Amino acid sequence: MKSTDAKPPIAEIKPTRLENHGDVRVDNYFWMRLSDEQKAAAIKDEQTENVIAYLEAENKYYNTIVGYTNNFQEHLFQEMKGRIKEDDSSVPYKNNGYFYNTRYEVGKQYPIYSRKKGSLDAAEEILFDVNEMAKDFDYYQLGGLNVSPNNKLVVFATDTVSRRQYFLRIKNLETGKIYDDIIENTTGGSVWANDNKIIFYTKKNPVTLRSEKIFRHVLGTPTSEDVEVYHEKDDTFGTYVTKSKSKKYIIISSFATMTSESRYLDADTPTGNFTIIQPRLKNIEYNVSHYKDHFYFLTNKDGATNFKLMKTSVHQTSVAHWEDVIPHRKETLLEDFSIFSDYLVLEERTNGLHKIRIKRWDDTKDYYLPFKEETYAVGVYGNPEFDTDIIRYSYNSFTSPSAVIDFNMATKAKEIKKQQEVLGGKFKQENYKSKRVWATVRDGKKVAISLVYHKDTPLNENTPLLQYAYGSYGHTISDRFSTTRLSLLERGFVYALAHVRGSEYLGREWYEDGKMLNKKNTFYDFIDCSQFLIDHNYTSPKHLYAMGGSAGGLLMGAIVNIKPELYHGIIAAVPFVDVVSTMLDDSIPLTTGEYDEWGNPNHKEFYDYIKSYSPYDNVAKKAYPNILVTTGFHDSQVQYWEPVKWVAKLRALKTDTNLLFLDTNMETGHGGASGRFESLKETAKEYTFLLALENKLAQL
235 is catalytic: no
The dihedrals phi and psi of 349, each to the nearest 5 degrees, come to -135, 120
Contacts with 521 (C-beta within 8 Å, 6 or more apart), sequence order: 443, 500, 501, 502, 513, 514
> Choosing from 159, 635, 636, 663, which is the catalytic residue?
635
Kindly tell me the burial class for residue 490, based on how many C-beta atoms sit within 10 Å of its own C-beta (0-12, 13-18, 19 or more).
Answer: middle
Beta bridge partners of 293: none
**Helices and strands in the chain, H and E counts:** 13, 37
> Choosing from 550, 581, 614, 636, which is the catalytic residue?
550
Structural contact between residues 113 and 105, judged by C-beta atoms closer than 8 angstroms: no
Dihedral of CA 453/459/465/468: which sign?
A: positive
**Residue (of 660, 586, 677, 665) closest to 623 by Cα position:** 660
Q: Which residues of 276-304 are buried (b: 16+ CB within 10 A; e: fewer)?
A: ebbebeeebbbbbbbbeebbbbbbbbeeb
Structural contact between residues 315 and 308, judged by C-beta atoms closer than 8 angstroms: no
The dihedrals phi and psi of 169, each to the nearest 5 degrees, come to -140, 170
Measured at the CA of 619, the angle between CA 615 and CA 622, to 5 degrees, comes to: 135
266 is catalytic: no
Beta-sheet pairing, 343-350 with 353-360: antiparallel
- As a whole number of angstroms, the distance between CA 414 and CA 412 comes to 6
- As a whole number of angstroms, the distance between CA 336 and CA 504 comes to 13
- As a whole number of angstroms, the distance between CA 638 and CA 551 comes to 9
| 170 alpha carbon, distance to own chain's centre | 27
Amino acid at position 178, single letter: I
- The count of residues in the chain is 700
- As a whole number of angstroms, the distance between CA 664 and CA 53 comes to 12
Structural contact between residues 538 and 531, judged by C-beta atoms closer than 8 angstroms: no
- As a whole number of angstroms, the distance between CA 104 and CA 100 comes to 14
670 is catalytic: yes
Convert 612-662 into a string of H (helix), E (strand) and C (coil). HHCCHHHCCCCCCCEEEEEEECCCCCCCCHHHHHHHHHHHHHCCCCCCEEE
The dihedrals phi and psi of 419, each to the nearest 5 degrees, come to -115, 130
Long-range contacts of 288-296 (CB under 8 A, 24+ apart): 288/244, 288/251, 288/253, 288/262, 288/264, 289/244, 289/245, 289/337, 289/339, 290/244, 290/245, 290/246, 290/248, 290/249, 290/314, 290/339, 291/246, 291/339, 295/264, 296/325, 296/337, 296/339
Beta-sheet pairing, 544-549 with 569-573: parallel
Strands (E), 130-256: 141-147, 153-159, 166-172, 183-192, 198-204, 211-218, 227-231, 238-243, 249-255
- As a whole number of angstroms, the distance between CA 198 and CA 192 comes to 6
> Choosing from 290, 294, 670, 674, which is the catalytic residue?
670
Beta-sheet pairing, 308-313 with 332-339: unpaired
Report, as residue numbers or ranges, the catalytic residues. Answer: 550, 635, 670
